[in-house]
Amino acid sequence: MNPAQLDEATLQAFVDGQLDDGERCAVEALLASNPEAAARVRAYRAQTAALHAAFDPVLDEPVPVGWRTPRRRGATYLGQVAAAVVLLLVGGAGGWWANDRLGGPNDGAANFTGEAALAHRVYTKEVRHAVEVAADEEAHLVAWLSKRLDAPLAAPDLTGRGYELVGGRLLPASAGAAAHLMYENEAGDRLTLYIRTNREGGETAFRFEQDGAVSAFYWLDGPLAYAVLAEAERETLLPLARAVYNELSP
Amino acid sequence: MSRYARLEPHIPHLRRYARALVRDVEQADDLVQDCLERAMSRWHLWRPTGSLRAWLFTILHNLHVNAIAKQARRGTSLPLDTVPTPAEAPVQHDRTQVSEVVAALDQLAPEQRRVLLLVALEDFTYAEAAAITGVPIGTVMSRLARGREALRQITGQSGASGGLRRVK
């Protein structure tokens, strides 16, 4: 092959059909007198055909329905969680609402509910900046928070109970990061769902706490710890918390 | 879900590319799912003036580069001189040739494989392939040329003409 006549880039572009008509005709003429280059062109085109033959069937595979929502990472965990859907009561209520004990030796449930209550109090008062990502970007919100917590999150649908998702935000927490989802009903009552990594392990618990006007149900579920909070009576919050629990731990 | 709806038409192509790139079905689909999640979470970074398809392939490309780096160079590519050239040109049965090409793909250096697949399988222009892989167009051209010639050597398609063992 005479490189002055047929350079490598032109040959590749010829193979890929990326030349205009004039250039293509010129290359064809050169190939007629250059069997070595012509053999290469044939081989390269056969490669392209082989690649399509091998991988085009993938185009016809239906997209898995599950891809519409972010992955639930660690799917094997779900089996364990399902088996462990037993409502345990965790003893030792000392230190509840101990907001000032962040990072202390009792870095467990007390911190968790304390931080959840703090987040609830701070952000439910906000009118304009209650959330960082609004509900109209729910898929993005859930994907983002799942990524940051490195665990599968979901935003429970509470519309059946009169609560719409307002949105959510990422929060710093003593265990790294926490996800904060906010819901609101027509009356303007707000409910928050606080989710953090469950560092204590896979036990499943469901527990009620009250601090002043704020009520909270919380539980540990596999990789995550959840708290549902609202300024409401226990009896009012319980069905909402159960609805959240049922959605997240089917 | 409007974002997902916009991504959806591109998913089959992302899957085809990923499948050809990593071969393992699960790993390939994991890569695509990572890509989709990243696209949705970084939607604000996509400029509507650009091609959504090229942007998605760029994300997938970066994820694959990172994955390969993590794998601590599991498979290094074979220098061409060590690839045996068959004494006889093989008879070109279609099916055999397809599986030969597919098997030979694995022996290419990842950067050659990516460019080859972006151009030959996914029909990106050289300029698009350059943008996706973040290298100059000249690099795309040389990777493409070397990748194709390596495939030809490995599959023995060069045996008949008897010459040209080395790639420029």
Three-state DSSP at A131 gives coil
Half-sphere exposure of A23 (CA within 13 A, CB side): 14
Q: What single string gives the DSSP state of each residue in B11-80?
A: HHHHHHHHHHHH--HHHHHHHHHHHHHHHHHTGGG--TTS-HHHHHHHHHHHHHHHHHHHTTSSSPPPPG
Interface test with B, best of A140, A157, A165 (most B CBs within 10 A): A140
B41: nearest CB among A40, A51, A140? A140
The more confident residue out of B3 and B57 is B57
For B39, which residue in chain A has the nearest alpha carbon? A140
**Residues B84, B126: one domain?**
yes
**Residues B60, B95: one domain?**
no
**Residues B24, B107: one domain?**
no
Give the pLDDT of residue B58: 94
Which of A73-87, A131-145, B140-154 is the least confident region? A73-87
Query: Among residues of chain A, what percentage have pLDDT more than 90?
Result: 34
**Residues B112, B161: one domain?**
yes
CATH number at residue B35: 1.10.1740.10
pLDDT (tens digit, 9 = 90+) per residue, B83-139? 334 433 444 446 678 888 999 998 999 999 999 999 999 999 999 999 999 999 999
Q: Has residue A65 got a pLDDT over 80?
A: no
Give the pLDDT of residue A129: 81
Which of A2-11, A47-56, A57-66, B27-36 is the least confident region? A2-11
Segments forming the whole domain that contains residue B163: 78-168
What is the helix (H) or strand (E) element at residue A51, kind and residue range? helix A35-55
- Note whether A51 contacts B3, CB cutoff 8 Å: no
Give the number of A-B residue pairs with CB atoms closer than 8 Å. Answer: 110
Three-state DSSP at A235 gives helix
Interface test with A, best of B3, B33, B38, B101 (most A CBs within 10 A): B101
**Residues B67, B119: one domain?**
no
User: What phi and psi values does residue B135 have, to the nearest 5 degrees?
Assistant: -130, 165
Interface pTM, i.e. ipTM: 0.81
Give the pLDDT of residue A187: 82
Query: Among residues of chain A, what percentage have pLDDT more than 70?
Result: 78
Q: Has residue B144 got a pLDDT over 80?
A: yes
For B113, which residue in chain A has the nearest alpha carbon? A51
B121: nearest CB among A40, A44, A52? A52
Which of A3-12, A22-31, B78-87 is the least confident region? B78-87
Give the pLDDT of residue A77: 41
Whether A47 and chain B come into contact, CB under 8 Å, resolves to yes
Give the pLDDT of residue A200: 67
Give the pLDDT of residue A203: 62
Using CA atoms, how far apart are residues B32 and B49, in angstroms rounded to an integer? 23
**Residues B57, B111: one domain?**
no
**Residues B83, B70: one domain?**
no
The more confident residue out of B144 and A132 is B144
- Note whether B92 contacts A140, CB cutoff 8 Å: no
Whether A20 and chain B come into contact, CB under 8 Å, resolves to no
pLDDT (tens digit, 9 = 90+) per residue, A176-196? 889 999 999 888 889 999 999
Q: Has residue A44 got a pLDDT over 80?
A: yes
Interface test with B, best of A12, A55, A142, A157 (most B CBs within 10 A): A55
Instruction: Give the distance from residue A9's alpha carbon to the nearest chain B alpha carbon, in angstroms.
Output: 6
What is the helix (H) or strand (E) element at residue A217, kind and residue range? strand A214-221
pLDDT (tens digit, 9 = 90+) per residue, A230-250? 998 888 898 899 889 888 875
Give the pLDDT of residue A223: 81
**Residues B96, B62: one domain?**
no
Q: What single string gives the DSSP state of each residue in A8-35?
A: HHHHHHHHTT-S-HHHHHHHHHHHHT-H
If you count them, how many residues does chain B have? 168
Domain locations in chain A as residue ranges: 8-60, 66-248
- Note whether A140 contacts B43, CB cutoff 8 Å: yes
**Residues B97, B150: one domain?**
yes
Using CA atoms, how far apart are residues A77 and A81, in angstroms rounded to an integer? 6
- Place A94 in a pLDDT band, splitting at 50, 70 and 90: very low
Work out how many domains chain B is built from and give that number: 2
Give the pLDDT of residue A114: 82
- Amino acid of residue B114: R
Give the pLDDT of residue A108: 56
**Where is the domain boundary, B74, B106, B127?**
B74
Please list every residue in chain A whose beta carbon sits closer than 8 Å to the beta carbon of residue B12: 58-61, 63
The more confident residue out of B90 and A199 is A199
- Note whether A51 contacts B101, CB cutoff 8 Å: yes
For A45, which residue in chain B has the nearest alpha carbon? B120
- Note whether A40 contacts B20, CB cutoff 8 Å: no
Give the pLDDT of residue A70: 59
Fold of A66-248: Phosphorylase Kinase; domain 1 (3.30.200)
The answer to whether the CB of A166 falls within 8 A of the CB of A131 is yes
CATH number at residue B94: 1.10.10.10
Instruction: Give the distance from residue A165's alpha carbon to the nearest chain B alpha carbon, in angstroms.
Output: 15
**Where is the domain boundary, B34, B53, B74?**
B74
**Residues B57, B87: one domain?**
no
pLDDT, averaged across chain A: 79
User: What phi and psi values does residue B132 have, to the nearest 5 degrees?
Assistant: -65, -45
The answer to whether the CB of A73 falls within 8 A of the CB of A157 is no
Give the pLDDT of residue A39: 94
Half-sphere exposure of A160 (CA within 13 A, CB side): 8
**Residues B23, B89: one domain?**
no
**Residues B95, B158: one domain?**
yes
User: In this structure, what token pair is assigned to residue A209?
Assistant: 């706490």
Q: Has residue A84 got a pLDDT over 80?
A: no
**Where is the domain boundary, B57, B74, B91?**
B74
pLDDT (tens digit, 9 = 90+) per residue, A114-126? 888 888 988 888 8
Interface test with A, best of B37, B96, B146 (most A CBs within 10 A): B37
